[in-house]
């Protein structure tokens, strides 16, 4: 079975604990969505595919009168996940609509184009405030969850400083 873009997110989350598709989507939205998004339209077909491939197993469970299926990772799925975790292929994909706007900003008057850079800086500030709000002060996260959290904080701080430097540079040049 060929992994898809969402395979590793689903397997990784199920490697932590059994979950329903709804639970997986909620966990994605709470944790990894800032760097690896997944929609219901991706998660549910992937769950079916992974179950058919024997990488996960599902059982029917009731929840408040609603039928749902709870999935757990199988030994085969855990081997695949661990193989991927130990793999050397690293693909960094960036999909950033704000950068796309900046790329085409030369089509705008300079003041409006600089406004796009200011909006990007504000986006970094908002994301930084949001990430800081996630720290509830009730104990440490697992070490590598904390590592990724700190990457997000540093990335936002770098982004704010980058926007400041580039705005000064562009104002001198325009």
Which regions of the chain does DSSP assign to beta strands (E)?
A: 19-20, 56-63, 66-73
User: Do residues 79 and 11 both lie within one domain?
Assistant: yes
- 122 lies in a domain? yes
User: Do residues 101 and 78 both lie within one domain?
Assistant: no
- Domain that includes residue 38, residue range: 7-85
pLDDT in tens, 120-171: 999 999 999 999 998 888 888 899 999 999 999 999 999 999 999 999 999 9
Longest dimension (CA), the chain: 64
Count CA atoms closer than 13 A to 64's CA, side-chain side: 0
What is the predicted pLDDT for the residue at 89? Answer: 81
**Cα angle, residue 108 at apex, residues 102 and 113 outer, rounded to 5°:** 45
Mean pLDDT score across all residues of the chain:
93
- 65 lies in a domain? yes
pLDDT at residue 101 is higher than 80: yes
pLDDT in tens, 58-79: 999 876 667 789 999 999 999 9
**Structural domains in the chain (count):** 2
Handedness of CA 25, 30, 31, 37 (dihedral sign): positive
The residues, any chain, with a CB within 8 Å of residue 65's CB and separated by 6 or more, are: none
- 24 lies in a domain? yes
């Amino acid at each position: 079975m060929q992994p898809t873009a969402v395979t590793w997110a689903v397997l990784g989350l199920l490697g932590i604990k059994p979950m329903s598709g709804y639970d997986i989507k909620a966990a994605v939205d709470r944790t990894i969505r800032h760097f690896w998004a997944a929609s219901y339209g991706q998660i549910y077909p992937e769950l079916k595919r992974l179950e058919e491939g024997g990488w996960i197993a599902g059982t029917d469970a009731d929840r408040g009168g609603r039928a749902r299926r709870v999935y757990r990772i199988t030994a085969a799925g855990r081997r695949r996940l661990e193989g991927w975790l130990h793999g050397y292929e690293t693909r960094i994909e960036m999909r950033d609509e704000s950068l796309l706007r900046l790329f085409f900003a030369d089509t705008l008057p300079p003041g409006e184009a600089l406004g796009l850079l200011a909006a990007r800086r504000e986006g970094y500030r908002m994301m930084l405030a949001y990430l800081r709000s996630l720290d509830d002060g009730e104990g440490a996260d697992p070490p590598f969850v904390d590592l990724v959290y700190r990457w997000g904080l540093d990335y936002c701080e770098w982004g704010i400083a980058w926007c400041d430097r580039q705005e000064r540079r562009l104002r001198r040049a325009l």
